[in-house]
Each structure stands twice: as C-alpha cells, then as structure tokens.
C-alpha cells in the first residue's frame, strides 16, 4: 500500500506539472564582431523531481521520506568566434538536495550556486582539438554522457573519481582519426586541490587517457549520449586510465607513507533501430579506483574511502523505444564493492532501477518515472573509524522527473517518431 501511494503521488504530481509546462523553443542568439563572426547563445536546462523513499525519516529514520527538488537547474552561454574558437560557460543552482545516494541527510543541505563549466575550445583540426578551463575529465563514458540525454533517469550514482565532482580544471587534447572511427583523448587536470603538507603529501597533476573505436556510425563529439532515440546506429568500445601520484598519506597521523591514485575503466555501448520494431539500446562498463589499499592503515585518508574512494564495480543498462510512440522503457543494474562504506569494510552494494521516458518534445520536454532498489551486503548498525551507531538498511526509491530544456533544437529526421510530438 505504501509503495502504491508513493507511485500514484509521484505520477499525479508530475502530470499536473506537465500540463502547466510550456513547450521548449529555440533560445536567443546574438552576433557581434567584424562581419558578425561572433555568436552567443543562451540556454536553460531544468530537471524538477518528486522523490519518495521508504526510509530516512521518523524517530528511527526508517519511515517514508518525500522530497521535491531540482536535480539540475542550469543556465548556460555558448559562444563561437570564427571557425576555430568557442566557449561554453554553465552555472548550476542546487537547493535542498537532502535525499542522497545512500541516505537522507540529518539536516537541511541548503543551497549552492556554482560555476559548473567554464571552458574555451580550439578546433584546430578534426584530429587535434584543445579544451582549456573547467569541464568533464576523461575517465568513464557514463560521466561523459550528456546529463539531458541519459537512457535511464540519470547516470550511474557511483562512477565519480575521488576528490573531484563530475568536472575538473585543466587542459585536454583530443581528436578523431580514420573517418571518425577512432577517437583519442588525453588531459592534464588538477585532481586533488592544491593543499599543504598538513593535508596531502604533495601537489601533483592528474593524468588521464581515453580512447574509443566506433564500429558503426561514429561518436565524434567530446560528449556522449545515453540514447540517440533511434537516429543513429551505434556500437562503440572504449577504455580509459587515470593516475595521480602521491595523492594521499597511507596514515594521516604518522605521515610515514604515501599512496598513488589509479583508476581505469572499460565500456561498451550500442543502439540499433529496427524499422517497424523499435530501437534497442545497451550499455555496460567496469570501473576500478585504487589507492594501494591505504584504507587498511590505522588512520586512513577519508578521501580514499566512501562512495568515491577505493572501489570496483560494473553496470549494465538497456532500453527499448517504441516504433510509433515517443515512449522508451529502460532498466539498469549495478554491483559495486567499496573498500569502506559507512564504516563497513568491504561493503557491497547492488542497485537496480527500471522505468519509462515519455518524450513530449524530444529531450527538450520529457517526463520520466523510475523505481529503484538499493541493497547492501551487510545491513544493521555499525561502529567504525568515521563514527558510531550508523545504520545501514536496504531501501526503495521512486522518482518522477520533468525535464525542460530551452535551446536551439536539433533537427529531427523526416518521419521520426519524435518529430511530430507536441
């Protein structure tokens, strides 16, 4: 009964919001400079959510929790000057993001306004492009997929690299070879923020290399998509490696040893439309984050533990887009092993989610519902290095999301299922 109530509430609220929503339209564009060589475009992207979880509130923190929030609320400026240089600046406002990946916060998390991206790009040659600023680093495909074009409700909750969010500051070179069939990337990033010896052993750059091969139609952009909605036939294999020397102390009290950060991943992605049948999508990846088992010391670096610390895991996801209706069914399964998570050594987490996307106007106006379950290898109350009396329980989450994007709309092929959606 509880689950049915949460599902109905989520669906009815989202449908009410949908009826009030205005269809997305092309954003404004300005031109400037000699012969109008410069252009500047404005874009808004928002994801409004209703989240219902059967855990996190009440006297024992085991009662239902309901939460309205913006998953993403962004303003962006995109500019070009001539055929070589472009700029992308994006801000993000988050408010009361209290229902987290693994738990409900004890206190209101408040709001935050940040400069999410600020990057200058130089398209010198199809085989040699340079990006400078703050932008997505080159490790997992999942993180490099567009936030507004995922297959499932969102990307994996477990794929971030340690000491950074989804972005980092630095410089990257990348390009496409052999008719865009082969793509290479290399970046030099800050990684862990520059701090003194009291906190970290040294200050070093973080180095990443990534490559992929497209066996069908090429994926030639810097960012990927979780689904192309049947507009491309794609089969891409990729891999990446990332390293930051002397990233942490093995023991933060004695400071007698240091550990390097190393991470690697391998991934596969495919999407194939069949006329009259529909479009099938598949994605999978494995990722490992390693700090030389520094978590086993008496006083380990907390940044090497937890959700973004030493871990390994994998995911598989799939989707089916109906042939004559703008409806896409999807599912995802993930399995992760963490060195220490919520005071538990060698903790395992299984995550399963399934749902549906309804495209009112392509990805620019979209309604998504997802039900997910998070399960732990060991549940109960534990004491550990990070505290005492922390409770870990399996839980279910039901999320309804309305996505609205105001920008220049990408052209749709004639006869597309989505081209006639209103």
Question: What CATH code is carried by the domain that includes residue 218?
Answer: 2.40.160.10
How far is residue 233's CA from residue 182's CA, in Å, rounded to a whole number?
16
Give me the pLDDT at residue 307, please.
Answer: 92
How far is residue 2's CA from residue 180's CA, in Å, rounded to a whole number?
51
3-state DSSP assignment of residue 296: helix
Q: Which of 104, 416, 5 is nearest to 230 (CA)?
A: 416
Residue 61 resides in a domain: no
Give me the pLDDT at residue 390, please.
Answer: 64
How far is residue 271's CA from residue 235's CA, in Å, rounded to a whole number?
7
User: 206 with 242: CB under 8 angstroms?
Assistant: yes
For the chain, 422 residues long, give each residue's pLDDT as a single digit of tens.
445 544 444 444 444 444 434 333 445 678 877 877 788 898 999 999 999 999 888 887 888 999 998 899 999 999 998 889 999 999 999 887 888 888 888 888 888 899 999 999 999 999 999 999 999 999 999 999 999 999 999 999 999 999 999 999 999 999 999 999 999 999 999 999 998 898 889 999 999 999 999 999 999 999 999 999 999 999 999 999 999 999 999 999 999 899 999 999 999 999 999 999 999 999 999 999 999 988 888 889 988 999 999 999 999 999 999 999 999 999 999 999 999 888 888 999 999 999 999 999 989 999 999 999 999 998 877 665 545 666 788 999 999 999 999 875 443 333 333 333 33
Residue 49 resides in a domain: no
Give me the pLDDT at residue 414, please.
Answer: 32
CA dihedral angle for residue 150, residue 156, residue 162, residue 166, rounded to 10 degrees: 20
Give me the pLDDT at residue 344, please.
Answer: 85
- pTM metric for this prediction: 0.87
Helix (H) or strand (E) holding 303: none
Give me the pLDDT at residue 289, please.
Answer: 97
Structural domain boundaries, residue 275: 121-406
Q: Give the tokens for residue 31.
A: 């031109």
Residue 72 resides in a domain: no
Residue 313 resides in a domain: yes
Domain total for the chain?
1
Residue 282 resides in a domain: yes
| Strand ranges in 275-379 using DSSP code E only, listed in sequence order | 278-290, 311-321, 327-341, 344-361, 365-376
Residue 12 resides in a domain: no
Residue 114 resides in a domain: no
Residue 169 resides in a domain: yes
Q: Which of 59, 65, 67, 89 is nearest to 77 (CA)?
A: 89
Question: For residue 344, how many other CB atoms are within 10 A of its CB?
Answer: 18
Contacts of 168 (CB under 8 A, 6+ apart): 134, 135, 136, 137, 189, 190, 191, 206
Q: Which of 140, 52, 132, 169 is nearest to 99 (CA)?
A: 52
């Amino acid at each position: 009964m509880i689950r049915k109530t949460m599902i109905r509430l989520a669906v009815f609220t989202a449908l009410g919001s949908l009826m009030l929503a205005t269809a997305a339209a092309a954003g404004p564009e300005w031109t400037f400079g000699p012969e109008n060589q410069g252009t500047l475009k404005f874009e808004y992207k928002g994801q409004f959510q209703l989240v219902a979880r059967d855990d996190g509130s009440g006297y024992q923190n085991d009662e239902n929790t309901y939460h309205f929030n913006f998953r993403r609320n962004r303003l962006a400026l995109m500019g070009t000057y001539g055929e070589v240089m472009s700029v992308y600046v994006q801000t993000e406002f988050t408010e009361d993001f209290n229902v987290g990946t693994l738990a409900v916060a004890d206190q209101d998390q408040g709001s935050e306004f940040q400069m999410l991206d600020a990057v200058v790009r130089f398209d010198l040659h199809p085989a040699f492009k340079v990006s400078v600023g703050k932008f997505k680093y080159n490790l997992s495909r999942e993180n490099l997929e567009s936030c507004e074009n995922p297959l499932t409700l969102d990307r994996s909750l477990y794929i971030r690299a340690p000491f950074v969010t989804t972005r980092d500051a630095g410089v990257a070179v990348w390009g496409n070879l052999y008719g865009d069939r082969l793509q290479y990337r290399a970046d030099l990033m800050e990684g862990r923020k520059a701090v003194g010896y009291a906190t970290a052993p040294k200050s070093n750059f973080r180095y990443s290399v990534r490559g992929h091969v497209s066996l069908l139609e090429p994926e030639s952009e810097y960012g990927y998509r979780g689904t192309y909605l049947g507009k491309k036939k794609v089969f891409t294999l990729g891999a990446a490696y990332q390293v930051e020397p002397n990233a942490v102390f093995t023991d933060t009290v004695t400071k007698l040893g240091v550990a390097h950060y190393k991470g690697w991943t391998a991934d596969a992605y495919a999407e194939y439309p069949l006329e009259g049948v529909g479009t099938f999508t598949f994605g999978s990846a494995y990722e490992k984050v390693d700090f030389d088992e520094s978590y086993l010391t008496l006083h380990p670096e907390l940044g090497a533990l937890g959700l973004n610390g030493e871990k390994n895991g994998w995911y598989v996801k799939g989707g089916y887009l109906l042939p004559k209706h703008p409806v896409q069914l999807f599912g995802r399964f993930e399995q992760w092993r963490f060195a220490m998570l919520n005071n538990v050594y060698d903790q395992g987490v299984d995550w399963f989610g399934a749902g549906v996307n309804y495209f009112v106007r392509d990805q620019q106006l979209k309604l998504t519902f997802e039900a997910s379950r998070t399960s732990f290898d060991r549940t109960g109350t534990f004491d550990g290095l990070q505290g005492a009396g922390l409770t870990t329980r399996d839980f279910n989450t039901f999320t309804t999301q309305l996505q609205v994007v105001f920008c220049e709309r990408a052209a749709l092929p004639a006869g597309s299922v989505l081209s006639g959606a209103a």
